[in-house]
Amino acid sequence: MSKMYLLLAGLCLGLTGMAQTDSSASQEKKPDTIHIGNLIIVKKSDGHYENKDGSVSVSRINHSHRNVSTNWLILDLGFANYNDKTNYTSAVTAGVVAPGLNKEKFNLRNGKSIDVNIWLFMQRLNVISHVVNLKYGLGIELNNYRYESPVYYDKKNNIFIEDVVRHYKKDKLAADYLTVPLMLNFNFTPNNFYNKSFGFSAGVSAGYLYSSRQKMITSEDGKQKIHDDMYLRPFKISYIAELQLGPVKLYGSLATQSMFEKGLDQTPYNVGLRFSNW
């Protein structure tokens, strides 16, 4: 009987020890985890590691590629200009420009003729292994052509003339388009994210002229605005391209024909910087 009591006592002591071990294991500290962007930092501090003071391990979250990705609110800042191939003798005969106007009179102030584009969104659709993609979007193009000479559009007589009476401080033609771009995109580093990709895109865009005006500031009359189509085409088709070199993105566009329907043969083009995620 005494041996049985001793055996039972031993079993109780063993179970008590196991319970204490399990309790201490359950109270073991869990690793601290910190997320920083696409990094996971885990701090380990338990007796199972050789470093008793704790160790830190860093791992990177793997991004999963999406077949369709969207970039919202892209901004372009650049310069606007045009290639002038107008036959001014014919333009005078057609009644679009007044006698005396020539190519030099329509020269632009290069540093002040600007292009601002605001793309509401752009999407990239995977075609081949995320290296070849289809890129499209929707936005507005704001083209501002700043004349060197005091040229303005006489709305009453539907003709461009040179104002030799007033003193001009500003003389600008503005043409704004609602535009849809469509490009084939080549991304040479599809596994790079956060403005680290390298590639280029090329394609075409179709724009609808929703607003056109001429803005002038003279010493005599102050600020004036003339709202008219001024012989501008209602639609514009352009060749477009963009180049991505890591965080630096460049864009360019060249219209397929003159922006004027009649008289003036001026084909617009734009170049500048693009601010976007990809």
Task: Give me 187's structure tokens.
Answer: 């991304």
Report which DSSP code applies to 22: H
**In a domain? residue 13:** no
- Residue 100: what pLDDT? 92
Domain end call among 45, 62, 79 = 62
Residue 256's contacts (CB-CB under 8 Å, 6 or more residues apart) are 237, 238, 239, 267
- pLDDT score recorded for residue 15: 47
- 154 plus 91 within the same structural domain: yes
Q: Which value, in Å, is the radius of gyration of the alpha carbons in the chain? A: 34
146-185 burial, b at 16+ Cβ within 10 Å, e below that, comes to: bbbbbbbbeeeeebbbbeeeeebeebbbbbbbebebebeb
Please report the pLDDT score of residue 52 as a whole number: 45
Q: For 90-130, what is each residue's pLDDT tens digit?
A: 999 999 999 999 999 999 999 999 999 999 999 999 999 99
Which DSSP state fits 147? Answer: B
Residue 86 sits in the same domain as residue 53: no
Among all chains, which residue has been given the structure tokens 């920083």? 36
Q: What mean pLDDT do residues 60-74 have?
A: 78
Q: Which residue did the predictor score with more confidence, 42 or 254?
A: 254
Containing structural domain, residue 233: 68-275
Dihedral sign from CA coordinates of 97, 226, 181, 195: positive
End residue of a domain, out of 37, 62, 87: 62
pLDDT beyond 70 at 1? no
Q: What is the mean pLDDT of residues 3-24?
A: 49
Among 89-103, 186-200, 235-249, the range scoring the smallest mean pLDDT is: 186-200
pLDDT digits (tens, 9 = 90+) for 142-190: 999 999 999 999 999 999 999 989 999 999 999 999 999 999 999 998 8
Q: What is the largest CA-CA distance in the chain?
A: 132
Kindly state the average pLDDT of the residues 239-266.
96
> How many domains is the chain partitioned into structurally?
2
Residue 31 confidence class, pLDDT cut points 50, 70, 90? low
Instruction: Clarify whether residues 109 and 56 are in a common domain.
Output: no
Kindly state whether residue 147 falls inside one of the protein's structural domains: yes
What contacts 253, CB < 8 A, 6 or more positions away? 205, 238, 239, 240, 241, 269, 270
Whether the Cβ atoms of residue 121 and residue 69 lie closer than 8 Å to each other: no
What is the rounded average pLDDT for all residues in the chain? 84
Q: For position 236, what pLDDT does the model report?
A: 98
pLDDT at position 64 is: 58
- Please compute the mean of the pLDDT values over residues 62-75 and round it to a whole number: 83
Q: Is the pLDDT of residue 37 over 90?
A: no
Residues 80 and 54 in one domain: no
Q: Report d(CA 116, CA 76) in Å as an integer.
A: 6
123 and 215 co-located in one domain:
yes
Half-sphere exposure of 34 (CA within 13 A, CB side): 7
Task: Provide the percentage of residues in the chain whose pLDDT is more than 70.
Answer: 76
Q: Is the same domain home to 79 and 108? A: yes
CATH code of the domain containing 207: 2.40.160
Q: What is the mean pLDDT of residues 234-250?
A: 95
User: Does residue 205 sit within a domain?
Assistant: yes
Query: Does some domain include residue 20?
Result: no
- Looking at the structure, tell me whether residues 54 and 78 fall in a common domain: no
Confidence of residue 192 (pLDDT cuts 50, 70, 90): confident
The pLDDT, as a whole number, for residue 19 is: 47
Q: Which of 4-13, 27-36, 149-158 has the highest mean pLDDT?
A: 149-158
Least confident of 18-27, 30-39, 158-167: 18-27
Say if residue 29's pLDDT is above 50.
no
Instruction: Inform me whether the pLDDT recorded for 221 exceeds 80.
Output: yes
Q: CA 188, 190, 196 angle in degrees (round to 5)?
A: 85
Q: Which residues contact 154 (CB under 8 A, 6 or more apart)?
A: 160, 161
Please check whether residues 156 and 221 belong to one and the same domain: yes
Residue 150 inside a domain? The answer is yes
Higher pLDDT, residue 65 or 203? 203
Residue 145's H or E segment, with its range, is: strand 132-146
Residue 23 is predicted with a pLDDT of 46
10, part of any domain? no
Whole-angstrom CA distances from 5 to 2, 11, 17, 19 are: 5, 10, 19, 21
**Residue 5 counted as domain residue:** no
Q: Domain check: are 39 and 137 in the same one?
A: no
Same structural domain for residues 102 and 181?
A: yes
Query: Is there a single domain that holds both residue 44 and residue 109?
Result: no
- Supply the pTM of this predicted model: 0.76
- Same domain for 35 and 88: no
